[in-house]
Amino acid sequence: NAGVTQTPKFQVLKTGQSMTLQCAQDMNHEYMSWYRQDPGMGLRLIHYSVGAGITDQGEVPNGYNVSRSTTEDFPLRLLSAAPSQTSVYFCASSYSSSSYNEQFFGPGTRLTVL
């Protein structure tokens, strides 16, 4: 099992550009989520999905879009990148949305917006 994979590992964008961060898991997990990690702050939830076709907003959803067409994939789209979106992005998956189930994290994507 590869677990949770993310691509790319690093990305530099110019302000206003758009891009998609890829996330895939091979554990047949229903729950997937995206977080951002900024210096001096805890991870913050951007968007989450409880199953294919179902997504919802987390704590900091502005400027981001998600879709979940399959159980395996959960891409995160930046519509028009801003310097405030410079961060490390983590995708995670879990058997269900219950926090008693362990959440598995991907290796992260480090994004810099100039």
Partner 1 sequence: KNQVEQSPQSLIILEGKNCTLQCNYTVSPFSNLRWYKQDTGRGPVSLTIMTFSENTKSNGRYTATLDADTKQSSLHITASQLSDSASYICVVSARGGYQKVTFGTGTKLQVIP
- How many residues of this chain interact with partner 1, rule: CB under 8 A? 26
In sequence order, the 6+-apart residues with CB closer than 8 A to the CB of 48 are 31, 32, 33, 34, 55, 56, 58, 97
Give the binding range for partner 1 (CB under 8 A) out of 19-27, 62-70, 72-80, 90-98: 90-98
Select 14 or 42, whichever has its Cβ closest to partner 1: 42
Do the beta carbons of residue 86 and residue 36 sit within 8 Å?
Answer: no
Residues 24-83, interacting with partner 1 (CB under 8 A): 31, 33, 40-45, 48, 56, 58
Nearer to partner 1 among residue 75 and residue 95 (C-beta): 95
DSSP SS3 for 85 = helix
